[in-house]
Amino acid sequence: MSTLFSFSPRSPHNAFLPLTRQRLRQRRGGLLVRFSLASLDFLDSDPPLPPAVQTFWKWMTEEGVISSSTCPLKPAYVPEGLGLIARRDIAEDEIILRVPRRLWVNPDTVAASEIGYLCTDLKPWAQVSLFLTRERLRPNSSWRFYIDILPEKTNSTIYWSEEELAELKGTLLLRMTKEMKEYVKSEFLKIEQEIIRPNKELFPSSITLDDFYWAFGMIRSRAFSRLTGQLAMLPLVDFINHSSKITREDNAEEMNGPAGLFSWDLLFCLKSTIPVKEGEQVFIQYGLKKNNADLALYYGFVERNSARDAYTFTFSIPESDPYYGDKVEIAKENDLDETAYFDVFMDRPITQAMLQYLRVAAIQQTDAFLLEPVFKSSIWATVELPDQKLLEVGNLGERLDIAVRVRLGGKLVLQQIQLEFKERQLKLDAFEYYQERRFKELGLVGDIGEIYCQPKDSVPSV
């Protein structure tokens, strides 16, 4: 597999060269089938679109998914890579694409394929990853026109080199990336041993971990799952890019409808949630709840918007806790677990759920124990803002820019949390302790703290 980014050990910042159009053209070579492109004049573009994209568009036309006369969209080079441009004005909530189920790549597609019977015990993402990896290596794959338009990689941190990942030191994004890669690797090793090696006739080309990472990255950055209920890669729909200007997520619906000349099928329908003028790019919202670390991990970009700056705290109730069972039970009753994750966003208060979880976890411990991890000097020693300066200097390249913004976002949020906890610490004396409240409820403690040996109501008055 060729690589998009070249590295020079003497110049670490070369690792972060931006993805230029020239590079984009190189990555999507692919097969140019001799379709007549006469009816697809609207695909003319400067610079010209890669042959693989033209072939793919033609394929979609032949499949009856788009009509060159009525399709409101065309593919084009945009700052986000490839994207969809309006060929005419588009109205709010107008359906702009309909992709029939027979063209979705999902666990049903895998089940119906030659390797389907081998994949029944795999998780949906692993099934589709193995399928995509295999189809990519098969010269005569019936999915060739789709696979040829998929990029070789994105800027998702799962594709970053060790040198690039080193820029994320101290961030949760680094841990999330490493854990995710470890998880994918362990699934791959199992699949390799139990499925690929014993079935060489079905897997004639060798499949590497990097091939599997590629497929996983494509799924993470392009698959849809909300509507179909199961993960699905949706050719054509997955040309759509994200914009922070889009504030609605209800961009799709499913319906039965015509799917080609003589067929009827379930259709995945993509809508534009805002009106778009002819010539403008059509966008969707990839997830309002995602923070910048999520965006970097899944899609390989971040937003320059402090509302996405977040720090994800991971809290656990230790098994050694004498009240472990009770506490986990309370957590589960509140849709949490022995380990819980809480995003804290810039300029937004800490959520009640996080404070409640912490209180439960700390019952019968001191408040200092509760807060200690947050104030640990090893964390705070790094909480100054040299990254702000780096951003001001600018011209960092795409990946270093992502790393610096995620680091800085996390640090700013940690600083905000430190202030918030300090303020709470000052007010601690005025707070009622859990035990105190419980004792009051039981009548063992009075309003001003007087202690009774028996419930107050049963204390005889003298």
Ligand X SMILES: C[S@@+](CC[C@H](N)C(=O)[O-])C[C@H]1O[C@@H](n2cnc3c(N)ncnc32)[C@H](O)[C@@H]1O
Q: Which residues are near ligand X by CB under 6 A?
A: 80-83, 151, 154, 221-222, 238-239, 241-243, 299-301
Least separation in angstroms between residue 321's CB and ligand X is 41
- Distance of alpha carbon 246 from alpha carbon 352, whole angstroms: 28
Whether 155 contacts 7, CB under 8 Å: no
Question: Which residue among 77, 286, 298, 311 is the active-site one?
Answer: 286
Task: Tell whether residue 222 is among the known ligand binding residues.
Answer: yes
Smallest distance, ligand X to C-beta of residue 437, A:
48
Q: Is 299 annotated as a binding residue?
A: yes
189 among the known binding-site residues? no
Is 286 a residue of the active site? yes
Return the residue matching tokens 């640090």.
Answer: 411
Cα distance between residue 92 and residue 449, in whole Å: 62
Alpha-carbon distance 123 to 218, whole Å? Answer: 16
Residue 20 or 140: which CB sits closer to ligand X?
20
CB 97 within 8 A of CB 237: yes
Ligand-binding site membership of 226 (annotated): yes
CB-based burial of residue 200 (10 Å sphere; 0-12 exposed, 13-18 middle, 19+ buried)?
A: exposed
- HSE at residue 169, side-chain half, CA atoms within 13 A, is 6
Residue 198: CB minimum distance to ligand X, A: 34
Provide the terminal-to-terminal Cα distance of the chain, rounded to the nearest Å. 90
Q: For residue 242, say whether it is annotated as part of any ligand binding site.
A: yes
- Residue least distant from ligand X (Cβ): 81
- For residue 333, CA distances in Å to 66, 326, 327, 328, 356 come to 49, 11, 10, 8, 12
Of residues 113 and 155, the one with the C-beta less far from ligand X:
155
Q: Report which residue type is found at 106.
A: N
Could you tell me where the beta strands, DSSP code E, fall in 308-357? 310-316, 339-345
Looking at beta carbons only, is 223 or 358 nearer to ligand X? Answer: 223
338 annotated as belonging to a binding site for a ligand: no
Give least dist CB 74 to ligand X, A: 14
Q: Which CB, 119 or 217, lies closer to ligand X?
A: 217
> Apex CA 86: angle with CA 85 and CA 90, to 5°?
145
Least spacing, CB of residue 183 vs ligand X, in Å: 20
Residue 286 assigned ligand-binding role:
yes
Residue 4 or 111 with smaller CB distance to ligand X = 4
CA angle 177, 318, 169 (to 5 degrees): 25
Closest separation between CB of residue 303 and ligand X, Å?
8
Residue 47: is the preceding peptide bond cis (ω within 30°)? yes
Q: Considering beta carbons, is residue 221 or 272 the nearer one to ligand X?
A: 221
Closest C-alpha among 236, 241, 67 to residue 146:
236
Say whether 323 counts as a known binding-site residue.
Answer: no
Look at residues 132, 141, 118 and name the one whose alpha carbon lies nearest to residue 191. 118
Instruction: List, as residue ranges, the binding site for S-adenosyl-L-methionine.
Output: 80-82, 241-242
Binding region: 80-82, 222, 226, 238, 241-242, 286, 299
Annotated binding site for substrate: 222, 226, 238, 286, 299
- Annotated catalytic sites, by residue? 286
